[in-house]
A = this chain, B = another copy of it.
């Protein structure tokens, strides 16, 4: 039976995909990926050199905003199109930045198609690991705990959850840097924080939080903080 394959393509450096992802990409006849309304998007651009000519491509076009309606409509329509290929026996590879199951859009396709088709997931390098590599910051040793949390959470929740763990990796920090700064100042961890933008990519930057605030944050950036 044909498989719906979620393929983690990593944080941006085309060399940070796995041998398995590269092999399955070459084999899959149909390739789907989230994309903005115009252009190919990050996931497709990471693996551009690995996709053989003549593949069927299904861009799942959605507004790159917090608008869930646009995203859900794209997943609904994409799932219908993907199901046709699967029914006709063709594997469909779905590209995902980072890892498919950690904040990955693949989850929404698995929800829509997982009860009818075989599903396989190829894990990918996720941004906490890529950002830690950029900052040369240990995430955890021994019995330490690590928290992965979107920066969109409330100031109170961030403070409570970060206080309870040794290391926190805050996702999608762009608009939330001032809030994060207040939380870390109260927790006395501001000097332990590193802002990492475009980890593993050509314009990677690793800054203190105050440097990042002065410059302005971007959406695909992460703050790492250790106690």
Chain A residues at the B interface, C-beta cutoff of 8 Å: 8, 10-11, 13-20, 22-23, 99-103, 107-108, 110, 114, 119, 121-126, 128-130, 132-133, 136-150, 152-153, 160-161, 164-165, 200
Contacts of A146 in B (CB 8 A): 102, 147-149
Contact across chains for A164 and B153 when beta carbons are under 8 A apart: no
Task: Give 17 pairs: A residue, B residue, CB < 8 Å, sorted on A.
Answer: A8-B129, A11-B123, A15-B18, A16-B122, A16-B123, A18-B19, A99-B129, A101-B137, A102-B146, A103-B140, A121-B132, A123-B133, A143-B152, A145-B150, A146-B147, A146-B148, A147-B148
Contacts of A124 in B (CB 8 A): 125, 129
Contact across chains for A18 and B10 when beta carbons are under 8 A apart: yes
Contact across chains for A138 and B107 when beta carbons are under 8 A apart: yes
Q: Least Cβ distance of A150 to chain B in Å?
A: 5
Contact across chains for B23 and A19 when beta carbons are under 8 A apart: no
Contacts of A122 in B (CB 8 A): 16, 133
Q: A123-B125, A145-B153 provided; 12 other pairs, C-beta below 8 A? A: A8-B129, A15-B18, A15-B23, A18-B125, A19-B22, A101-B132, A101-B137, A123-B129, A124-B129, A142-B150, A145-B161, A146-B149
Contact across chains for B143 and A121 when beta carbons are under 8 A apart: no
Q: Least Cβ distance of A144 to chain B in Å?
A: 8
Report Cα–Cα, A161/B107, bound state, in Å.
25
Contacts of A125 in B (CB 8 A): 18, 123-125
Whether A149 touches B145, Cβ cut-off 8 Å, given contacts A18-B17, A23-B15, is: yes
